[in-house]
Structure 1
Amino acid sequence: MIKKQRISNLNLEFNFQEVDRPLTNQEALEESNRCLYCYDAPCIQACPTGIDIPAFIKKISSGNLLGSAKTIMAANPVGASCSRVCPTEELCEGACVLNHSTKPIMIGNLQRYATDWAIKNDQSLFNPGNPIGISVAVVGGGPAGLSAARELARLGYEVTIFEAAEKAGGLNTYGIVSFRLPQSISYWEVEQVEKLNVSIKTNTRVGRDISVEQLLKNFDCLVLAVGMAQVPDLGIEGENLEGVYDAIEFVKETKSGRLSTEFVGKRAVVIGAGNTAIDGATCSVRLGAENVKILYRRTEEEMTAYDFEYEFAKQDGVEFRWLTAPKRITGDEQGKVTGIECIKMDLGDPDQDGRKKPIPIEGSEYVIPVDAVIKAIGQTRHLDLIEALGLQHNSGVVHVNKDTYQTSNPKIYACGDVVFGKGKGDAMVVTAAQQGKLAAYNIHKQYTAAAFGKAQ
C-alpha cells in the first residue's frame, strides 16, 4: 500500500499508478492450489454474476489461462474491472469456507491474474451469434449497458449503444480512480463488446443528438442503462466560489490524465461518505493536498462507502469528521474558497430510507479553514430522459418488473443505477453487470416467445 509520505511527491503520474500489485506467476499457482474446489461452492452463490469460481481457479492451477479468463468473462462481461473494484470481502471471499480455518482464497486477485493475461495477450474471448433480424438500442455504455449489449450480440441481435461521453465504459472508464482501476482495463472490456459487431455511438446524447422518437421507431427494443447524472447542489451559501468541485467531474479529470498541481500544499474537504467521496479524498491526497478531511452528517455506521475503501482512505491519511454538516462556504475578495462553516449534528428517528435522520445542534457552528471543497453527496437522475420515454418512476428510480427488468413500456427494459433504489448507496459494478445480463436474457425470451407464437 502506498503511504502518504510517498504520495506527497510531485510526480503526479506516479501517484496515480495502480496501487495494488498483481500476483506473480508463482503466487498465482500457489494460491490457486489452496482452493478446495467445493462442489456446492458458497463463493459462487455470493457472486452476483454467478461466476464458476472453482472452475476458473482450477484452470489457473492447470495452466489454462485462456479457459480461466473465458469462464470469468462469460459470467461477468466486466470481470476484469470487477477483479479490482468488487468488495470481495463482502461477496465471494467473504463466503469462502476457508474463512473458518485459515484465510479465504484471494479470489479477486486470481480473477485479475487470469483477465490480465487475456488483456496482455490481446485475446478475443467470444463470437457474435447468427443474426436473427432484431435490433436493440442500448442507452448508456456503462457496466449494465455493456453487459446487456454483449449478451444480446452473442444471441444474434443487432445492437447499437448510444453513449453520451467520449468513450464508453461509464463508471469504469471515468468514475473510479485510476490507481484503483486504470482506464486501459475498461477499454479492453469495451473492445470485447465491439468485436461482437456491436455499434457504439459515443458523444451521442439521447434527447440532444438523437430523439427518443427516433429510437422507438428505428429499433425493435430499447435497454435503458444510463446510470446517474451529476452531483446535486449543496444548497448553501458560497457554493459557486472558485475552489468548489463536483466530485464526479473531479475524478473524471484525474482519470483522463489531467493532473493539476493546484492542490499541492492545500487543505481540502470532501462532503459525503460514499465511494465517490472516498475517491475524491484520495485523489486530493495524490494531487499533493497537505490535509484532507471528509465531512459526513451521519456516523461511521451509516456511511455507504465499502469497508476496504474506508480503510484505504485512512491509510492515505484522510481525516473523518462524523456528525458534521456544511452550513456555508466562505471566500476572499477574489472569490476563492477560504473556509467552510460547519454545524454539529445529532441523529433522530429513521427517515424514509431507513437511516436515522441527522438533526442540527443549535449553537454548535465552527469554521474549518480550507482551500478546496469537493461535493460528493450522491448524484441526480436523468429525469428528462425517463419522462421523455414515458416510463413510470419514483423520483428517477425507474419501475421495472423485478424478474424481467421490463419497464411500464413493454418495449423498454432498464438496468443498473437507473433502477437502483434511493438510500441504498451506489449499485455495485457487478450488480449492474448482472442486471444487464438478465435484461438481455428476458428480451430474448420475449422475442423467442413471439416468434414461436407466429410459427403456430
Structure 2
Amino acid sequence: MGNSVSTTGIVSGRKDKQALAESFKDLHAPLSDHEALVASDRCYFCHDAPCVTACPTSIDIPLFIRQIGTGTPEASAKTIFEQNILGGMCARVCPTETLCEQVCVREVAEGKPVEIGRLQRYATDRLMAAGTHPFERAAPTGKTVGIVGAGPAGLACAHKLAVLGHDVTIYEARKKGGGLNEFGIAAYKSVDDFAQKELDWLLSVGGITIEYGKTVGADISLASLQAEYDAVFFGMGLAGVNALGCEGEELEAVINAVDFISDIRQAADLSQLAVGRHVVVIGGGMTAVDVAVQSKLLGAQDVALVYRRDKDSMSASVFEQDLATSKGVRIIYNAQPVRVLSEGSALSVEFAYTETKGGKLTKTGETFCLAADQVFKAIGQSLTGAPEALSLQGGKIMVDENGRTTVPKVWAGGDCATGGDDLTVTAVAEGRDAAIDIHTTLLG
C-alpha cells in the first residue's frame, strides 16, 4: 500500500515567528514613486486597448497609467475606483497574468507586459492612504435595499447603490466582512489586514449598514427581506465544500482547504497553527495552490498537490503553478483519489492515474499511494442556504445579464450566481452592474 506516516505529525511551531514573517511577507512588493514612473512609461496607451476588454470591470487602464506617468496618482486611483471600488484588493489578487497583462501589446511583442496590477496597487494605495473617499452620495432617493453577504459582490453592489443615494443594509453570516477577500485567499497576497482596511474605507462613503452574524434561514428570510426593502441582492458566495466522493474522506485528518486558509488568515500567531509534516492537497484551482504553498511556508516537509487532469486543464494559472513549485510544492497531474487509508495512527491516500480519451477522463488502471498526515480537499465549493423561491441552474442562483433572478425585485451576483468564475474582480463587476439595474428599476 506504500509508506504511511503518523497523523501525530500535525503539529505547530515548525518555524519560529521570524522565519514565518519572512515566509509570509508581501508576494509583490509595492512600487516606489520612481519605479511606478518607469513602469508607466512602458505603456503604449493603445487605442481600443485589449487590456481594457480583458478586465472584467472594464477599467480604463491606459488612462490610469497615463495619470500615474503625469504625476497624478490620486486621479489615477479615481479612474480605477469608478469601475472597481475594490481595485486595491484586485490589484493584489487578480490573476493579471491571464487577464489584462496576458493581452498587453508589450507581452505579445516582448514577452514582458506592462505591470498593470502593481501600477493599480500603487495608485489605489496612494489614495486610500490619504484617508479620503473619491465619491460623494447623491441626494437621498428614499429607497432601501437589503443585501445578503458582505463579500466582493455584496460590497460592490452596496457601494454603488449608496453613491446613487439609496440606503443599504448588508446581512453577513460571519462576524467580519470581506468574504473571500478576508477569509479565502493566501495570507501573502493580502498583508497588514488590508481587507478590513479596504472595507472600512469603502463604508466611509456612508449610507451602508452591516449586520453581522445574520444567516439566511436562521435569522433572515427572503420573505422578510422583500417585506422590509424595495429591492434585495444576494451575494452570499459559496459556503459548501464539494466532496471527494471517495472512501475515507470523513477521517479527521481530511480537511476542507477553505477552512484552513481561513484559519491562516485569522491567526494572531502563525507559529501556533498546526500543519502536517507530509501534506497532500487534492485539487487544481487557486484554493489548491494557496493551501499547498501556505502549508509549505508553515514548515511542512513534503507537500504534494494532486490534480486529476493535465497541466493545461488546471484552472490555477501557470504563474500560480510556478509559484507553487518555486516554494517546493510537488505537483502531480493526471491522478484522482480512490480512497484515504487509515492504518492505526497512520494515513495514506491511494490515487488512480488518469488520461483523457475523446474528451472523457478515464482511469488507466495504475494506482499509487502517497503518505500523508494531513489531506486537504480543494475541489471547489457549492451553494448552501439559498431560498427555495430562487430558481437554480447548475447549482447556482439563476440570473439574467443584469443579475435579475426569477423573483421580481431580487438580484444576485458573484460566486453564488450563474455566470461567475470565482474571481474577486468578476464578483465586483456583477455586484456593480446589478446595482445599476436596481437603481434604474427603483426609479423607473
| TM-based fold match above 0.5 | yes
Alignment-mate amino acid for residue 115 of structure 1: T
Distance 1:298 1:38 in 2: 38
Aligned to 1:239: 249
Note if contact 2:348-2:372 (Cα within 8 Å) is conserved in structure 1.
yes
Return the alpha-carbon distance in structure 2 between the equivalents of residues 194 and 261 of structure 1: 32
Pair 1:359-2:357 in alignment? no
Q: Identity of paired residues, percent?
A: 38
Counterpart for residue 292 of structure 1: 303
Distance 1:117 1:173 in 2: 21
Q: 1:77 touches 1:189 (CA, 8 Å); kept in 2?
A: no
CA deviation profile, 1:389-409 (whole Å, cap 9, x unmatched): x0111242222122x211101
Q: Give the secondary structure class of the aligned counterpart of 1:341.
A: strand
**Residue equivalent to 2:71:** 63
Whole-Å separation in 2 of the counterparts to 1:36 and 1:342: 49
Q: Cα–Cα, structure 1 residues 37 and 379, in superposed 2: closer, same or farther, change >3 Å?
A: same
Aligned to 1:75: 83
Q: Which amino acid aligns with 2:377?
A: K
Partner of 1:414: 412
- The yes-or-no answer on 1:321 pairing with 2:332 is yes
**Residues 172 and 183 in structure 1, CA contact (< 8 A), matched pair in contact too:** no
The Cα of 1:229 is off from its aligned counterpart by 1.4
Query: 1:43, 1:344 → 2: CA distance?
Result: 39
- State the shift of 1:43 in Å: 2.0
Shift of 1:134: 0.7
Structure 1 contact 325–345 (Cα < 8 Å) conserved: yes
Output the CA distance in 1 between the equivalents of 2:182 and 2:174: 10
- 1:89-100 equivalences under 5 Å are 89-100=97-108
* Structure 1 vs Structure 2 CA RMSD: 1.9
Tell me by how many angstroms 1:27 deviates: 0.7
What do residues 230-275 of structure 1 show as CA deviations (whole Å, max 9, x unaligned)? 32222323223232210000000001125345326x0101011111
Cα distance in 1 between the residues matched to 2:113 and 2:355: 39
1:200 aligned residue: 210
Aligned with residue 371 of structure 1, among 370, 373, 389: 373
Render the CA deviation track for 1:94-132: whole Å, top value 9, x for unaligned: 222233444321111110111121233323222222110
Distance 1:235 1:67 in 2: 51
Letter in 2 for 1:293: A
AA at the equivalent of 1:358: L
- Whether 2:323 is the aligned partner of 1:312: answer yes
Query: How do residues 14-29 of structure 1 correspond to structure 2 at under 5 angstroms?
Result: 14-29=22-37
CA contact (8 A) 1:194 1:200 kept: no
Aligned partner letter, 1:319: R
Indicate conservation of the 8 Å contact 1:230/1:248, yes or no. no
- Give the direction of change, closer, same or farther, for the CA distance of 1:107–1:42 in structure 2 (3 Å limit): same
Gaps of 5+ in 2: 1-13
Give the match for residue 397 of structure 1.
396
Amino acid across the alignment from 1:250:
F
The one of the two structures with greater contact order (alpha-carbon pairs below 8 A, sep at least 6) is 2
The alignment status of 1:218 with 2:221, answered yes or no, reads no
> In the alignment, which residue of structure 2 is the partner of 1:454?
none
Higher mean Cα deviation, 67-76 or 115-124? 115-124
SS in 1 for 2:67: helix
In structure 1, runs of 5+ residues without a counterpart are 1-7, 350-355, 450-456
TM-score of the superposition, structure 2-length normalised? 0.91
Show the counterpart of 1:452.
Answer: none
Preserved CA contact (<8 Å) 1:173 1:187:
yes
Decide which moves more: 206-215 or 244-253.
206-215
The equivalent residue for 1:229 is: 239
Any idea what the Cα deviations from partners look like across 1:411-434, whole Å, max 9, x if unmatched?
10111111235xx8x422111111
Deviations 1:331-363 (A, max 9, x none): 2434xx5211222223244xxxxxx3322233x
The answer to whether the 8 Å contact 1:165/1:203 transfers is yes
Q: What SS is found at the alignment partner of 1:94? A: coil
Query: 2:352 is matched with which residue?
Result: 343
Conserved? CA contact 2:74–2:127, under 8 Å: yes
AA partner of residue 409 (structure 1): V
Residue number among 162, 173, 181 corresponding to 2:182 in the alignment: 173
Letter of the 1:179 partner, please give it: Y
Contact 1:329/1:340, CA 8 A, preserved across alignment: yes
Contact conserved, 2:267 with 2:273, CA < 8 A, in 1?
no
Report what 1:159 is aligned to.
168
1:437 aligns with 2:440: no
Of residues 127, 143, 146 in structure 2, which corresponds to 1:134?
A: 143
Q: How many residues were matched structurally?
A: 425
